[in-house]
Amino acid sequence: MNLIDAEELARTLDAQDVLAPMRAKFDLPADVTYFDGNSLGPLTLRSREVLHHTIDVEWRERLIRSWNEDWLAMPMRVGNMIAPLIGATQDSVISCDNTSINLHKALMSAVELRPGRTEIVIDINNFPTDIYIAQSVADQHGMTLVAVPAEEIIGAISERTAVVTATHVDYRTAKILDAPAITATAHQHGALMVWDLAHTAGAVPFDVSTLDIDFAVGCGYKYLNGGPGAPAFIYVAPRLLAESGQPLQGWWAHAAPFDFELSFRPAPGISRFLTGTTTVLSMKSLEAALEIFSGVSMADIRAKSIGLTGLFIDLFDAHLAPRGFMLASPRESESRGSHVALGFVGGKALVDKMSAQGVIADFRPPDLMRFGFAPLYNSFGNVVSLVHHLLRP
């Protein structure tokens, strides 16, 4: 497909796009084309509005009264907005802390639930923080961290495994792991499963309930557009909640935080996975951004995501492969998340040059350029324009 035909096709697809109106809910600068929503989602108009209200009214005027009027309920309220995006029931997801801390809590909890087991299995290509956290949990329990490539996870699970953890969509390649098979194998061997949904939530449908996942964690500032440092989330299967503890038993996890009792009694529900005071401003921004998801379906988001990444890969074959770019993401749409990674010698300089021109992507060493295609604000026209920039930066 030549680029003139591609532009024509993109105009047709954009005209038919049911998600096209969502673009107006984002406050992207006119001179920017953004392909990095997989690292930091853009500002929404609602986040701006809600943050101003929080500062001017809830903080400035209402002061401490705002805790009871609104803020105390936020972690649960925001968790319940995230729940439908990952197939969770109400009151089984809570928003708090960051992904690293939530992963630590989930893994510690899982290990305590499987006493006597000696191994934690992890995807060796997982995001480094996940590996560091899993290593620390293993070290604290005198356990072994079994780190293997994604294809070998199933074979590495045994009766020694306490918990298996992996990221559903690989942060580098966007490869989707086989969550049903990995989870089922973990369960067949009596192990628990912790999925990291950092590159899944808000971009790729997931169903913690149908898959019978034990724990899941994920990020608020990527496809959920919560803003820099937005709180993350943690899901715990309701069947495990009563027996699940977590290592950071702070006062917000207490059954009655404002009774100021001297001994710890965990809250009966998912709030036992909280630790301390909520980061209100960040949480407000996340809550406002999540409103967008109540008006769209994850099926439409997924269909458009596949359309955008698929068009980019078609154009890659015709125009970029002959110029020395290498495809590092899966060709099969069912195993591909919402970004596409290209290997390119000199990729760092190219990403920097494009960024100076307002075409923003990112780079992961040694030579991977990553392009995030976010169905809520990227258009098919953006995809063609990206290819133009890659050819003539």
Ligand X SMILES: *Cc1c(COP(=O)(O)O)cnc(C)c1O
Among 105, 117, 175, 222, which one carries the catalytic annotation? 222
**Least distance in Å: CB of 289 to ligand X?**
16
User: In angstroms, what is the minimal distance from the CB of 204 to ligand X?
Assistant: 13
CB 158 within 8 Å of CB 128: no
> Taking the CA of residue 332 as centre, how many other CA atoms within 13 Å lie in the half-sphere pointing to its CB?
5
Reply yes or no on whether 34 is catalytic.
no
Least Å distance, CB 219 to ligand X, is: 5
From the candidates 206, 221, 293, 344, which is the catalytic residue? Answer: 221
Is 221 marked active-site?
yes
| Residue 40 or 186 having the CB closest to ligand X | 40
Q: 98 or 282, CB closer to ligand X? A: 98
The CA distance from 47 to 230, in Å, is 11
Q: Which residues bind ligand X (CB under 6 A)?
A: 98-100, 127, 129-130, 167, 171, 196, 198-199, 219, 232
Is 70 annotated in the active site? no
Is 370 designated active site? yes
Out of 170, 370, 371, 373, the active site residue is: 370
Of 26, 34, 35, 127, the active-site residue reads 127
CB of 150 to ligand X, least distance (A): 13
CB 362 within 8 A of CB 351: yes
Min dist. Cβ of residue 230 to ligand X (A): 9
Is the Cβ of residue 273 or residue 316 nearer to ligand X in the bound state?
Answer: 273
Instruction: Choose between 219 and 386: whose C-beta lies nearer to ligand X.
Output: 219
Name, in order, each residue with C-beta under 8 angstroms of 66's C-beta and a sequence gap of 6 or more: 58, 59
- Tracing tokens 């059954």 back to the chain, one arrives at 255
> Considering beta carbons, is residue 39 or 379 the nearer one to ligand X?
39
Residue 63 near residue 84 (C-beta atoms within 8 A): no
Q: Which of the residues are catalytic? A: 127, 196, 221-222, 370
